[in-house]
Amino acid sequence: MNKKNKLILSSVVAVILLIVSVVILTKEPSETDSGNKKVADKNLLVGDWLRTDAGYRIVITKVNQDGTLDAQYFNPNPINIGKTNWEENNGNLKIIIELRDVNYPGSTYTLSYLPDRDVLAGDYYQAVEGITFYVEFARNQ
Domain boundaries, the chain: 42-139
Question: Strands (DSSP E) along the chain, which ranges?
Answer: 47-51, 57-63, 69-74, 78-79, 81-89, 92-101, 104-114, 119-126, 131-139
Query: What would the mean pLDDT of 33-54 be, rounded to a whole number?
Result: 86
How high is the pLDDT of residue 62?
98
Q: Phi and psi (nearest 5°) for 126?
A: -95, 100
Four-way CATH pick for 42-139: 2.50.20.10, 2.40.128.30, 1.10.1530.10, 3.40.50.10490: 2.40.128.30
Q: Are 112 and 94 in contact (CB under 8 A)?
A: yes
Q: Would the pLDDT of 32 be above 50?
A: no
Question: Strand, helix or coil at 89?
Answer: strand
Q: Are 75 and 55 in contact (CB under 8 A)?
A: yes
Query: What would the mean pLDDT of 53-59 be, rounded to a whole number?
Result: 96
How high is the pLDDT of residue 31?
45
Q: Would the pLDDT of 69 be above 70?
A: yes
Between 12-21, 47-56, 74-83, the lowest mean confidence (pLDDT) is in: 12-21
